[in-house]
Amino acid sequence: MTRPVLVPILGDQLSRNLSSLQGLSPGEAVILMMEVWDEATYVKHHKQKIVLIFSAMRHFAAELRAEGWHVDYVALDGAANTGSFTGEVARACERHGASEIRITEASEWRVQQAIMEWEDRLPCPVSILPNTRFIATHAEFRAFADGRKHLTMEYFYREMRRKTGLLMRDDGKPEGDVWNLDADNREPPKGDMLAPPAPKFAPDTVTQEVVALVAERFADHFGDLEPFGWPVTRAEALEAAEAFFARRLDLFGPYQDAMVHGKDDLYHSMLSTSLNIGLLDPLELCRAAEAAYKSGKAPLNSVEGFIRQIIGWREYVRGFYWYTMPGLAEANELAAHRPLPEFFWTGKTDMRCLSDCIRTTREDAHAHHIQRLMVLGNFCLIAGIAPREVQDWYLAVYADAFDWVELPNVSGMVLYADGGRLATKPYAASGNYINKMSDYCGKCRYKVAQKTGPNACPFNPLYWHFMDRNRARLESNHRIGRIFATWDRMGEAKQAEYLESAEKFLDSLEPARKGWARVE
């Protein structure tokens, strides 16, 4: 081989249609894949997340080799591994006498900044190619966002429907004459919800080796290592997707917001890990969902709801991330400074909703959207937890967590830390919402109907404490401002009871000790 092109492929770029591989043939390139300490520990990821990424990387490398590609795979314990992407790319450049480095842009700001320095630090030219595994380009999101005060997802979503043609009729109108069927998708759980569980994949020898590695090297990271059942190859991810389309998509819509103790998958797809690391393509999933609607296998509200999550929310948060970084990571509009409570890591709390969401997070490295938003996130919002601490927690504990998708959800959707650019109002809620949408409250030590006092559901006084302390910032918001009339009508004595109950509860919270989320 003459001097080869060096193609680094990162742990979330495991797609055969990756832009950096296009137009190259196996004889011209060396593909570099790197397990590096810096990436495994910039937050102390859940053990299953590390297994997922390392195992999926090892399987992908084997598949490329079987196709005839020269893959240089640097294992975590490989001799002289420098522990960083830049260090490993520099070493590989020299090892192979590379003529050029060709890489698909990173999905995360932090990594992309490092890549942009390579041209100055390394001895050969660097080409950074666009990430074509998203539907909207950065330029398209900028064109949508420039000049808008609120970047309402709904309008962006309609653009994506038009761009892809998904659920669009020939006359340019949306299927069913409505763009968004969210109003049909808020059913509370029923007593006998027997959703067929998402498939789990038994670890093969490659995964078993990684499990052993993670047990030894990352023992102090949060989360149960086993049982591990996430898809680690495209074939497994496709099987998981097919199982979802065949058995759960039909009821995905109505029960999207429902929460049931002991269950985090319900009718959800459980496909975010496969999508985010590149095993599945967002458009192929949406086309399959559309086909299920057209063949009468799933109703429009479920199919539209699923497609909206992917070409709406997923694309939107990715565009929002690149549009607002690096400021988004620092934003703290509501001046929230309280440390994250220790129970987020241990699950030891009498609040049954929170302990169940933390349990599933620990066991599966997953919780579904409403658990993340309306239980865990809502608590952090109304208790005033510092955005940096909340961000680190979410980034560390979920197998699907990458900065580009976690940060807008946490800072924008949950904490209103961006001042309302992403969400038009804070998603603050009292215990009533959780009671309506779950079966958590009946067996909780707290009483959801009780508003104040030691036995009251803590979400109740915290809700009013949040409103009261943020009044100056929120009162002019037309979607939430009216709530203050209710607060004023309560009168001073009742208000004082709420505030005192909330403060007593907040004072009782034990702050998390250092070292859970980051190596100290």
Residue ranges in contact with ligand DLZ by CB under 6 A: 10-12, 34-36, 39-40, 45, 50, 53, 106-108, 111, 402
Please tell me the distance from the alpha carbon of residue 196 to that of residue 411, in angstroms, as a whole number.
33
For CA atoms 216, 221, 227, 231, the dihedral sign is negative
Rounded to 5, what percent of the chain is helix, strand, coil? Answer: 50, 5, 40
Taking CB under 6 A as the criterion, the residue among 310, 351, 444, 512 binding ligand FAD is 310
Residue with tokens 């949040």: 466
**Residue nearer to ligand DLZ on the CB measure, 10 or 270:** 10
CB contact at 8 A, 24 and 69: no
CA 35 to CA 87: how far, in whole Å?
12
Binding partner selected for residue 440 from ligand SF4, ligand FAD, ligand DLZ, none, CB under the kind-specific 5 to 8 Å limit: ligand SF4
373 in contact with ligand SF4 (CB under 6 A): no
Q: Which does 441 bind (CB under 5 to 8 A by kind): ligand DLZ, ligand SF4, ligand FAD, none?
A: ligand SF4
CA distances from 315 to 73, 157, 275, 290, 490 (A): 31, 8, 12, 18, 43
Binding of ligand SF4 at residue 351 (CB under 6 A)?
yes
Stretch that binds ligand SF4, among 147-155, 236-244, 334-342, 439-447 (CB under 6 A): 439-447
389 binds, among ligand FAD, ligand DLZ, ligand SF4, none (CB under 5 to 8 A by kind): none
CA distances from 191 to 188, 195, 261, 280, 351 (A): 10, 12, 11, 33, 21
9, 67, 106, 109, 407 from 322: Cα distances, Å: 21, 34, 11, 8, 11
Q: Nearer Cβ to ligand SF4, position 128 or 444?
A: 444
Identify the residue among 252, 446, 464, 516 touching ligand SF4 (CB under 6 A): 446
Report the distance separating Cα 216 and Cα 206, nearest Å.
16
How many helices (H) and strands (E) the chain has is answered by: 26, 5
Question: Under rule CB under 6 A, how many of the chain's residues touch ligand FAD?
Answer: 28
Instruction: Return the residue nearest ligand DLZ (CB atom).
Output: 11
* 505 near ligand SF4 (CB under 6 A): no
- Residue 301's nearest CA partner among 183, 154, 175, 181 is 181
Cβ at position 339, least distance to ligand FAD in Å: 18
Q: Which of 85, 118, 313, 416 binds ligand FAD (CB under 6 A)?
A: 313
CB 403 within 8 A of CB 108: yes
Nearer to ligand SF4, 333 or 497 (CB): 497
Q: Determine the interface stretch with ligand SF4 among 122-130, 304-312, 452-460, 477-485 (rule: CB under 6 A).
A: 452-460
111 counts as binding ligand SF4 under rule CB under 6 A: no
**Per CB under 6 A, does 54 bind ligand SF4?**
no
Position among 46, 314, 421, 451 found at the interface with ligand FAD (CB under 6 A): 314
Q: Applying CB under 6 A, which of residues 85, 316, 416, 440 lies at the interface with ligand SF4?
A: 440
| Tokens (6 digits) for 465 | 């404490």
Size of the site for ligand SF4 (CB under 6 A): 14
Is residue 516 within the footprint of ligand SF4 (CB under 6 A)?
Answer: no
The residue type found at 84 is S
CA 349, chain centre distance (Å): 24
- Find, among 267, 236, 234, the residue nearest to 252 by Cα: 267
**Which CB sits closer to ligand FAD, 15 or 501?**
15
Nearest 10 degrees: Cα torsion 418, 420, 423, 425:
130
Provide the strand spans (E) within 5-79: 5-8, 29-34, 70-74
Residue ranges of alpha helices (H) inside 74-152 are: 85-96, 109-116, 118-121, 138-145
Task: Tell how strand 5-8 and strand 126-129 pair up.
Answer: unpaired
Nearer to ligand SF4, 305 or 431 (CB): 431
Smallest gap from residue 309 Cβ to ligand FAD (A) = 3
- Work out what residue 411 binds among ligand DLZ, ligand FAD, ligand SF4, none; the CB cut-off runs from 5 to 8 Å by kind: none
Dist CA 468 CA 458 (whole Å): 16
Work out whether 405 is an interface residue with ligand FAD (CB under 6 A). Answer: yes
Work out what residue 222 binds among ligand SF4, ligand DLZ, ligand FAD, none; the CB cut-off runs from 5 to 8 Å by kind: none
Please, which residues bridge with residue 72 across strands?
A: 32
- Judged by CB under 6 A, the chain residues 416 through 475 that form the site for ligand FAD are none
Least separation, in Å, of the C-beta of 437 and ligand SF4?
A: 10
The residue from 414, 423, 434, 444 that contacts ligand FAD (CB under 6 A) is 414
**Contact footprint for ligand FAD (CB under 6 A):** 268-272, 275-276, 306, 309-310, 313-314, 317, 368-369, 372-373, 377, 394, 398, 400-401, 405-406, 409-410, 413-414
**Contact footprint for ligand SF4 (CB under 6 A):** 351-353, 431, 434-435, 440-441, 444, 446, 448, 457-459
